[in-house]
Amino acid sequence: MELNFWKMEGLGNDFIMLDDRDESIVNRIPYSDLAIRLCDRHFSIGGDGIILARQSLTHDIRFVIINSDGTEPQMCGNGMRCFAKFLYEKGILVKEEMTVETLAGTVIPKVILDRAGRVTTVRVDMGPPELVPANIPFVCDRERALEEIVETHEGAVSVTCVSMGNPHAVIFVDDLEQVNVKKIGRAVECHDRFPEKTNVEFIRVISGNELEMRVWERGAGITLACGTGACASLVAAHLTARTGRQAVIHLAGGDLDILWDEKTNHIFKTGPACLAFGGRVTI
């Protein structure tokens, strides 16, 4: 079977985009097996995950993402921007604002076009953050998990926990260069207090409207960017009185503008999505 694909990246977080509205792919191979095969950076296309367009009975389209290790997360912010550009420019869904079904609920991306009708950036309504520990999920007896101490085999860390449809543990640090993202990220990701594991963000506060971030993604490891992680980090920074409700987040792959709207309680994320290349692959 041959598949047409687009290889896309959002701030260096890279994905293999596939159209499976007719279910021909899922009827041939489990998505988890396909992701592991295609995301291998030495023997295949390479990527942090695969993203598939599926038919939806309730929304314009359904978003399915599978990590490079074969696990299925609920959502991915950078992946959603790539998904919106993929849908629009491939003619799958030619709407500037679209409703997308995800495991995390409804997400509404809006494409921003240049004069030639090409997608330059995407603004995504990520919905409201979830702060109740049981719903993140995170084992905690407080109403909110703000700067909660978690003991790991790499030492004690202070985490602020937020869900953006997927769990995040935000850790504020003075110097990102002194942090072993791999060791600490892995230890926190798999900690017993996170029943579904967690993404881990390491944040240096630059100012009241500017943050620097490094990330360990659940099921993917160190990546150059994480859109939901940037959203969670802004929420954590605001709740701990480190920033206002809007900030530029500097990630290893580039910058995102994050707004936590006070009126709607929704998080709005704006950033780029780029096509790297397209092609055909035999499976």
Distance CA 226, CA 216 (A): 9
Query: What pLDDT sits at residue 229?
Result: 96
User: Do the domains 2-127+271-282 and 133-263 sit in the same CATH topology, yes or no?
Assistant: yes
Query: What pLDDT sits at residue 190?
Result: 97
Distance CA 73, CA 227 (A): 13
Query: What pLDDT sits at residue 111?
Result: 98
State the catalytic residue, choosing from 76, 140, 161, 231: 76
**Which CATH superfamily includes the segment(s) 133-263?**
Diaminopimelate Epimerase; Chain A, domain 1 (3.10.310.10)
**For the chain, which residues make up each domain, given as ranges?**
2-127+271-282, 133-263
**Per-position pLDDT tens, the chain of length 283:** 999 999 999 999 999 999 999 999 999 999 999 999 999 999 999 999 999 999 999 999 999 999 999 999 999 999 999 999 999 999 999 999 999 999 999 999 999 999 999 999 999 999 999 999 999 999 999 999 999 999 999 999 999 999 999 999 999 999 999 999 999 999 999 999 999 999 999 999 999 999 999 999 998 899 999 999 999 999 999 999 999 999 999 999 999 999 999 999 999 999 999 999 999 999 9
Sequence-separated (6 or more) residues with CB below 8 Å from residue 273: 8, 9, 10, 78, 81, 82, 84, 85, 119, 121, 122
Query: What pLDDT sits at residue 129?
Result: 98
Query: What pLDDT sits at residue 36?
Result: 98
- Which CATH entry fits the domain spanning 2-127+271-282: 3.40.50.1820, 3.10.310.10, 3.40.50.300, 3.100.10.10? 3.10.310.10
Contact at 8 Å (CB) between 193 and 151?
no
Contact at 8 Å (CB) between 260 and 24?
no
Task: Mark whether 190 is an active-site residue.
Answer: no
State the catalytic residue, choosing from 39, 161, 226, 231: 226
pTM greater than the 0.85 cutoff: yes
Task: Mark whether 274 is an active-site residue.
Answer: no
